[in-house]
């Protein structure tokens, strides 16, 4: 059983002992710390719709089996802290983010463990802009959780509980209102798509979006039961069902999301993977063709985004892994689009958050305007291959010491450039490898990219052996 506390929130497996898992007592403590942080940093309930002089928090959740339990604990705790709670129920992460901004709320909590298996859940914390907390803010929440310095409301000052069932519609309207979403072209293309909604909230909102766009769709794993039909991470090894369905030749495109619908992967009309790294690349190519500018992705993302950006006359920048790091860098360089290579598209014209709905609408717009097959669109981009490996950690592993040694090993290599803003990334002229400690699991992620998957995997395994030799 696992409990991981980080600046991005609290995440763990359900059941077990206090302090070791994600359980009601730890959820209360962490939610109370977040509420205290919001109050200390200006939460004052200024929204016109909530004029009781109480701060307001939006709460949304994916369809995980533990979601109802966690949701009840979170909402009850916030009310006990004197907060009004706007509960939007089953909702995607980007839907929750947008709702915070639309309602002018003081913050938001998303109950989701993203791509983690069914026994996991987590709290993702948002500021009043509907964006993830900064590292400094997250550290303050952690400190408050450890101190237990909370003050709960007296009976006359308890918060209100407000159900809201309009959030999905608001989200869809926001997507359709984007200038680069070409509804007419998409409708005229008469697309037929297959969607794998992994038994979560994608099965609720994606058919609504696609219907509005005039797209015919079949949804696999559509019931939001939280009992995932397969490993929920949208990687090729987990997607045999939809890939087989695509090979029937009945569809123009396959669409895959994770349980909270902030990651997005495509499948070509012939049943082959488009490549999750190329979700951001392809959408960026379309956006940059209409609105030239700069782009950002994280250090573990493909070089193909850099190539596409430079083709359109823009400047590419890399950020540390983590959505808040990417959005911070995007604001710094004025990026018109950015995201993460795991299928996360961040389009500031909508909001600063990974959003599969935005990615789908922009991708379909590009495909409709080009009038080509998905496989033909993929062939337009440079080929790189990323190998994704992992090193499982033991309680005695000194990750920081290991990464320092790796950095020192390559510091004198004239063919390599070493970047240590997030773990250690070693860039060679024709390939790279990145080692970093995961924020969500007790592992070191080892990502490597080269011209072939064999070369990429060999480079990653080489660095893994270096780490093993150090332990």
Backbone CA torsion sign across 43, 47, 50, 53? positive
Q: Of 400, 451, 445, whose CA–CA distance to 429 is shortest?
A: 451
Tell me the helices (H) and strands (E) count for the chain, helix number first: 15, 20
d(CA 90, CA 80): 23
**Residue of 8, 66, 114, 365 marked catalytic:** 114
d(CA 152, CA 42): 17
d(CA 377, CA 62): 32
Element (H, E) at 194: strand 192-196
Which residues on neighbouring strands pair with residue 427, listed in sequence order? Answer: 417, 432
CB half-sphere exposure, 412, CA atoms < 13 A: 3
CA-based diameter of the chain, in Å? 68
Q: Which residues of 180-202 are buried (b: 16+ CB within 10 A; e: fewer)?
A: bbbbebbeebebebbbbbbbbbb
Judge residue 19's burial from the number of C-beta atoms within 10 Å of its C-beta, 0-12 exposed, 13-18 middle, 19 or more buried: exposed
Number of Cβ within a 10 Å radius of residue 383: 12
Which residues on neighbouring strands pair with residue 389, listed in sequence order? Answer: 446
Q: Of 36, 179, 201, 29, whose CA–CA distance to 111 is shortest?
A: 201
Does 301 qualify as catalytic in the annotation?
A: no
Across the beta sheet with 424-428, the strand order is 385-392, 443-450, 431-437, 424-428, 417-419
d(CA 318, CA 330): 9
Mapping DSSP to helix (H, G, I), strand (E, B) and coil, where does residue 407 land? helix
| Pair 284, 364: CB distance under 8 Å | no
Tell me which residues are annotated as active site: 114
């Amino acid at each position: 059983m696992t409990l991981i506390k980080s600046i991005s929130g609290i995440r763990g497996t359900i059941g077990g002992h206090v302090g070791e898992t994600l359980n009601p007592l730890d959820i209360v403590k962490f939610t109370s710390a977040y509420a205290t942080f919001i109050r200390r940093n200006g939460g004052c309930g200024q929204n016109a719709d909530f004029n009781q002089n109480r701060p307001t928090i939006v709460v949304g959740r994916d369809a995980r089996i533990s979601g109802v339990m966690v949701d009840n604990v979170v909402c009850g705790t916030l009310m006990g802290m004197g907060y009004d709670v706007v509960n939007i129920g089953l909702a995607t992460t980007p839907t929750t983010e947008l709702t915070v901004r639309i309602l002018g709320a003081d913050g938001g909590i998303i109950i989701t463990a993203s791509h983690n298996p069914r026994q996991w859940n987590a709290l993702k914390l948002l500021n009043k802009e509907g964006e993830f907390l900064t590292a400094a803010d997250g550290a303050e929440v952690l400190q408050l959780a450890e101190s237990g310095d909370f003050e709960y409301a007296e009976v006359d000052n308890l918060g209100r509980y407000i159900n809201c069932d309009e959030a999905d519609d608001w989200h869809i309207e926001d997507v359709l209102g984007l200038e680069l979403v070409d509804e007419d072209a998409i409708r005229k293309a008469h697309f037929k798509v297959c969607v794998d909604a992994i038994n979560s909230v994608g099965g609720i909102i994606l058919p609504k979006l696609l219907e509005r766009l005039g797209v015919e769709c079949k949804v696999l794993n559509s019931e939001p039961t939280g009992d995932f039909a397969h490993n929920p991470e949208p990687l090729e090894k987990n997607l045999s069902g939809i890939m087989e369905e695509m090979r029937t030749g009945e569809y123009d495109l396959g669409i895959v999301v994770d349980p909270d619908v902030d990651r997005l992967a495509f499948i070509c009309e012939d049943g082959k993977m488009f490549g999750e790294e190329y979700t951001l690349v392809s959408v960026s190519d379309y956006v940059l063709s209409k609105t030239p500018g700069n782009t950002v992705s994280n250090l573990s993302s493909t070089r193909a985004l850099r190539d596409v950006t430079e083709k359109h006359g823009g400047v590419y920048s890399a950020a540390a892994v983590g959505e808040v790091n990417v959005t911070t860098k995007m604001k710094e360089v004025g990026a018109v689009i950015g995201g993460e290579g795991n299928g996360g598209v961040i389009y500031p014209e909508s909001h600063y958050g990974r959003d599969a709905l935005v990615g789908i609408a922009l991708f379909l717009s590009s495909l409709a305007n080009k009038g080509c097959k998905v496989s033909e669109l993929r062939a337009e981009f440079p080929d790189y291959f990323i190998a994704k490996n992992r090193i499982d950690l033991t309680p005695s592993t000194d990750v920081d010491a290991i990464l320092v040694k790796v950095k020192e090993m390559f510091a004198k290599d004239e063919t390599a450039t070493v970047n240590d803003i997030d773990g250690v990334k070693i860039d060679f002229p024709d390939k790279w490898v990145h080692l970093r400690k995961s924020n969500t699991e007790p592992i070191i992620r080892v990502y490597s990219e080269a011209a072939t998957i064999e070369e990429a995997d060999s480079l990653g395994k080489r660095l893994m052996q270096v780490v093993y030799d150090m332990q």
